[in-house]
Chain A
Amino acid sequence: MSTVKQEREPLFSAKNRKLLTNPLNIDNPITVQVLGICSALAVTAKIKPAFVMALSVIVVTTFANLIISVMRNGIPPRIRIIVQLVVIASLVILVDQVLKAFVYDVSKQLSVFVGLIITNCIIMGRLEAFAMGNKPWPSILDGVGNGLGYGVILLIVAFVRELFGSGTIWGFHVIPEAFYEIGYKNNGFMILPPMALIIVGIIIWIQRSRNPELIEEN
């Protein structure tokens, strides 16, 4: 019998910090794993809904990771995907109900997109790839990290789209009237989903050119 006592890992060890920071950069769910694209296109015409969406996804990834990680040893492998989906779907319904009760105008804007969190592949991807095989605390960090990584990209895209598409930031006009008088016009194309795809593409391009390790060899 081995008597080696495992040393207790500090809460924010280097390994755990990586779980939190990697998704923000070299393991970003949108720009590197290329998951969750459809919601990134749909809710980023304005910053406010993008922010609420990011927040909701952070809550859902964190709690889904935690719950699945706690349950991981009892989940029968043959129905694990179903169990994961039930957990995600219930969390999303809870988020939706809470939004409707407390921030009605935001929930009105997000409308169908909240329900679409269920189909956000990032969440199920993290459950399957991480929470099923790791302890609760690292799973929470992984959930927060991936939620943040998703949220950061969402906010960058929404910032660009709202600024050039509507001339506002968080609903406030920032482009001075004088600009409009000399012929400046809001770019209607910015408001349409294809522009979000192009912006995500540009972000991926910038990120890869700064980070050679992300470039695949083929």
Chain B
Amino acid sequence: MYSNAYIFRYAGLMVILVAAILSSAAMLLKPMQERNEAVDKMQSILSAAGIQNVTADNAIELFNDYVVNMVVIDENGNVSDEFKGAGKENSEAFKVNLKEQLYNKSVNRGYKLPLYVLEKDGETINIIPLRGVGLWGPVWGNIALKSDFNTVVGVTFGHKSETPGLGAEIETPKFEEQFPGKKIFSEEGDFVSIGVIKGGVENFPANVQRHNVDAISGGTITSNGVNDMLKYVLESYVPYIQKRG
């Protein structure tokens, strides 16, 4: 009862109509979505530095208050871009695509990584954004270091789809509160990173306790993912840190 020509016309018209509706909706909503993503990133950065009460409404304002410098660092540890003025959400450092740059690093291409310098209560805090893989999908976070680029001030983690109650525990305060005070360099000044290990950190000697935190029981692969992410990202900043002396 329906001719083939009718079916083709019907399908063609439907597809064009649907494409028009969806692409205009995507274009209309894009600015709001991008703003949400930026705000989310700022909240995560600020909370790694231990700044409380950051809401979606005041995040941009607080971010511009606290952050004093947005730096981009290349693979040799040289500063390739700095941004100190207002509107830091538009700086090059804020827009670096971490996934892309870490991929460049993995295939031995040049890379550019961001560093956010904050000032809180007269102290300088350096924030390094992290990205790695968990069990089901990407994990990410921010690690805040003191001005010596050695002592951890705080961390925040996030994940896309880790198992609730197991791997997803990396974003709970219980896990994150283990990090402040840990060091990423040994007493001799060699880069060690921060490890996520099994067996109860308090049972280990002091030189192990200095660099490690407890893994999550039942979340081994996610814990390993966090461990690898910290090591891989932090080591990319070592040339820069050593150049600063």
Contacts and interface: CB of A to CB of B under 8 A. Distances in A.
Interface of A: 45, 74-79, 82-83, 86, 90, 93-94, 97-98, 100-102, 104-105, 108, 111-112, 165, 188, 191-192
B84 interface: no
B206 interface: no
Interface string B5-23: 0110011001100100110
Given A77-B2, A78-B7, A82-B11, A100 B165 contact: no
Majority SS at the chain B contact face: helix
5 contacts: A76-B6, A82-B11, A86-B18, A97-B29, A104-B39
A188 B40 contact: no
A100 B39 CA distance: 13
B161 interface: yes
B27 to A, nearest CB: 10
Contacts of A76: 2, 6-7, 10
Interface of B: 2, 6-7, 10-11, 14-15, 18, 21-22, 25-26, 29, 32-33, 36-37, 39-40, 56, 160-161, 163-165, 218
A79 B11 contact: yes
B36 A79 contact: no
A93 B18 CA distance: 11
Contacts of A188: 165, 218
B2 to A, nearest CB: 4
Given A82-B11, A100-B29, A111 B22 contact: no
Given A76-B10, A79-B7, A86-B18, A192 B33 contact: no
B24 to A, nearest CB: 11
Given A76-B7, A77-B2, A93 B29 contact: no
Given A76-B2, A77-B2, 11 more contacts: A74-B10, A86-B15, A90-B18, A93-B22, A94-B25, A97-B33, A104-B33, A104-B39, A191-B164, A191-B165, A192-B164
Contact of A104 (B10, B36, B164): B36
B15 A112 contact: no
A108 B14 CA distance: 31
Contacts of A74: 10
Contacts of B40: 104-105, 108
B2 A112 contact: no
A102 B32 contact: yes
B164 to A, nearest CB: 5
A52 to B, nearest CB: 15
Given A78-B2, A94-B25, A86 B36 contact: no
A45 B25 contact: no
Contacts of B36: 100-101, 104
Given A77-B2, A83-B14, A101 B32 contact: yes
B15 A165 contact: no
Contacts of B6: 76
Contacts of B56: 104
Given A74-B10, A97-B25, A101-B36, A165 B165 contact: yes
